[in-house]
Amino acid sequence: EAGVTQFPSHSVIEKGQTVTLRCDPISGHDNLYWYRRVMGKEIKFLLHFVKESKQDESGMPNNRFLAERTGGTYSTLKVQPAELEDSGVYFCASSQGETVPKNTEAFFGQGTRLTVV
C-alpha cells in the first residue's frame, strides 16, 4: 500500500514567487493534515481537512497560504507570495475516519523542504 506522498521533495524559490505543494494521502483516508516545521522550531499544525471540507484551519499563519482539497483526494498548499519566513519543512499526514481508534495514528509524508531566498 502506498503511503502519504508529497511533491516536490525540495523547492527553492525567490521571495515574492508562488509555490504550490501537493500531498496525496493514503487511499481511503478522509482526514488530511498539513503541518510545518520552521528551522530550529517545533512542528506546528496548519489545518485539517475531512474529505473536501476544512475542519480546522486555525493554524494557517496568514492569507498568503491557501489550502485546497478538491474532490476529497489530494490536497494542495499554495503560498503566494512567498516570504523568507515561510522557509521550512511542510508535512502532510492522513488518517482514517473518527470511528477508527486513535491509536491507528496519522501517517506522515516525507515532507517538502521549502527554501525562500
* Residues in touch with other proteins (CB under 8 A): 4, 31, 33, 35, 41-45, 48, 55-56, 58-59, 91, 93, 95, 98, 102-103, 105-111
Nearest CA among 4, 2, 6 for reference residue 95: 4
Cβ–Cβ under 8 Å, residues 25 and 34: no
**Residue closer to other proteins, measured from CB, 15 or 105:** 105
Q: Which residue is associated with the grid cell 530550529? A: 40
Amino acid at 4: V
- Smallest gap from residue 50 Cβ to other proteins (A): 8
**Residue closer to other proteins, measured from CB, 76 or 96:** 96
**Residue closer to other proteins, measured from CB, 20 or 110:** 110
- Smallest gap from residue 45 Cβ to other proteins (A): 5
- Return d(Cα 93, Cα 37) in angstroms, integer: 13
